Amino acid sequence: MQEKISGKLQLHNKNLDHFNVQELALEISLVLTEKIASKNLTVLELIALGRQPYTNWLGSLKNKDLSIINNAITKVNLDSLKHKKCYELSDGQMQRVMIARALSQDTSIMLLDEPTTHLDFYHKATILKLLKSIATTTNKTILFTTHEIELAIQLCDKMLLLNNTNNPYGKPSELIKEKHFETLFPKDIINFDANTASFKVNK
């Protein structure tokens, strides 16, 4: 991951530099855009790897680990696929597996890097709705980057707009009210319609 360039990063009021990798593994789980190294893992094996921060030196799973893994699998609706190999899955299914892995790591924060890339609109909506339901039912902080601004407006509690100037942060409704979306793209190409919270391409 990118090291911090400047400023201060804190987690639970403690400087992030003071966490070692093991402590960090108990606090933050990741879903990245990079492909996993071995697609020969089964869904179950992959999700079970999320328990590594809690297991002994050999990585043996206890009953508690197994039940957490099974809960994660049920939550993302993968029960029928859990013995499949990863190379047999579609991109959307694979993304759900990666989310389940992060879930089984059972951290208070889950970071996702563009979780909806390479997915069609239906799967984009499914993944983001899934994240929303995880956030509300498990009380986890879910932070993700995305280019799907319209979907994010509908589903996110708070948004940080990276617009290269003041990077406004707040509830989607507030950001709309403060007209931050209007200036996000060059006006001669894309306009924002505040009533429908959607972007229109100038014809």
**What does DSSP say about strands 198-201 and 190-193: parallel, antiparallel, or unpaired?**
antiparallel
Choose between 79 and 120: whose C-beta lies nearer to other proteins.
79
Instruction: For the CB of residue 53, give the shortest distance to other proteins in the complex, in Å.
Output: 4
Using the minimum distance from each CB to other proteins, give the nearer residue, 104 or 126. Answer: 104
Buried b (16+ CB within 10 A) or exposed e, 4-36: eeeeeeeeeeeeeeebeeeeebebbbbbeeeee
Can you tell me the distance from the alpha carbon of 94 to that of 32, in angstroms, rounded to the nearest whole number?
12
Which residues of the shown chain bind other proteins in the complex (CB under 8 A)? 1, 21-22, 24-26, 28-30, 32, 34-41, 45-46, 49-50, 52-53, 55, 57-59, 85, 87, 105
Q: Kindly tell me which of 102 and 175 has the beta carbon lying closer to other proteins.
A: 102
Q: Based on CB atoms, which residue is closest to other proteins, 38 or 163? A: 38
CB of 68 to other proteins, least distance (A): 15
| Residue 173 CB, nearest approach to other proteins (Å) | 33
Q: Which long-range contacts (CB under 8 A, 24 or more apart) does 198-203 make?
A: 198/150, 199/149, 199/150
Whole-number minimum distance, CB 172 to other proteins, in Å? 29
C-beta of 50 vs 172, nearer to other proteins: 50
CA dist 21 to 25, 48, 55, 149, Å? 6, 19, 15, 32
For residue 43, the one-letter residue type is V
In the complex, what is the shortest distance from the CB of residue 71 to other proteins, in angstroms, rounded to a whole number? Answer: 19
